[in-house]
Structure formats: C-alpha cells, structure tokens
Amino acid sequence: MVLPQREKVLFRLFGVPVKASFSWLFLVALLWCNLALAHFPNVLGAQEPAYVYWGLGFVATMGLFASLIVHELCHCLVARYTGVSVAGITLFIFGGVSQLEGEPPTAPAEFFMAIAGPASSIALGCFFLAFWLVASALGWSPLVWSVAQLLFFMNFALAAFNSLPAFPLDGGRVLRSLLWSVSNDLAIATRIAAHVGTFFATGLMMLGLFSLFKHALVQGLWFLVLGYFLRRAALGSLLMLIERQR
C-alpha cells in the first residue's frame, strides 16, 4: 500500500508510534467545521452560542480520531503478538492505517489481526451507546450525551465499512485469510482478494460518478477519491507481495 509521505510522530502507545501526515490536518478541519456548523446545530437546535457547537465539534473530532487510533492499535498489537513487526500508525486524509513490516505468518494470524480492528470499534460503539442511553434516561443535558451519540454511530459505521470484503480493508483481509486457509497459497489468496477489492473500489467510483450526476458534489468527489485509493492500495499490496516473493 502506498502510504502518505512527510509524516510526523505525534506520540507512542505501547511502543507503537502514532504518526500524522499533513493531509490529516485537512480532514480534522473538515470534520470539525462540519460538526460545528451543521451536525450539532441540527441535533441541539440553534439556540446555543456558537462557541458551544465549536467546542462539541472539537471534542467529537478528537473522540473520533481516538477511536480510530484504538482500532488501528488493536491491529498492531495482534500483529506484533503473531510476530509481525509494526512500523506504526499513520493518520491521513482518509483516516488511519497500520504500517506492518511483512505479511502475517499464517492464515489464522491474518484472520485475528484483521478482525481485531472492527471488534474494537464495535466495543467502543457499545460503550458510547450505553453512555448515551444512561445519560439520556437520567435526564442529563444533550450537551453531555450528544457527543457520545455521535461516536456510537461513527464507531459502528467504521466497523461496518472496514468489514467490507474489499482488500486491503479488514473484511478483505478476512477474505484473504479464508482463501489462504483453503488454498494454502498466500499469493493466490492475495490475487483473488485484490481482484475483489478492485471490484468494490470500482463500485465506489461508479457511485461517486452517480452522485456527481445528482449534483452531490462533495459526496461524489469523496467516493471517487476513496474508490481510487482503495483500488490503488489493493493493486499495490499485490505487487508488494510479488516483489517480496522474488
């Protein structure tokens, strides 16, 4: 996978460096502005001062990226447990990605490494759901639980998207682990999973074109770029494996 360049180490968790590329700042700004100017005013009404929405937007943005780091950290810790070296976690314009130095040693290792991320997102989603329901039942102000409500939805959305069988997403890696287990050949499993990944990526790009046709400019461009990135990542992972086996 081609990863972002000009990365800066922000901090370390359990010895795993968490890095960010400059493109990540664009995503932070985009999310923060969208939450402060659109999401929270719609959820809470427009009666609160502007600084309240900006504060909630900042907390929610940081909470989302903290959830994303936990997702990727679980991948890294399981990978390290199975003997795969970990270079770190990189935050960039599409979220985050784990940088692993090598392929998993076995199909079961890949399977558990792949499901660790979505499983952590589901666990976080359940935590935020519980907080939201309890705080709402106790009559607490929406200013308290609105962020938890958003993080519940975002964590489950993160788990659902990553579970798509589109290599190199987590679901695609689960698919590759199953194919690897059946064929006992990592190259064959990678080739099939990569082709499935390019199929899903092409579908995203087609959805982007359809959205542009419907005048949904931002959504259309997002799907187009995301589909292009997934397609490039799938083919890049296949080429990288071929180079390692030479």
- Long-range (24+ apart) CB contacts under 8 A made by 80-89 are 80/16, 82/106, 82/109, 82/112, 82/113, 83/109, 84/109, 84/113, 86/16, 87/17, 88/9, 88/16, 88/17, 88/18, 88/19, 89/16, 89/17, 89/18, 89/19
Residues forming a β-bridge with 90? 19, 97
DSSP string spanning 1-21? Answer: -PPPSS-EEEEEETTEEEEE-
User: Active-site positions?
Assistant: 72
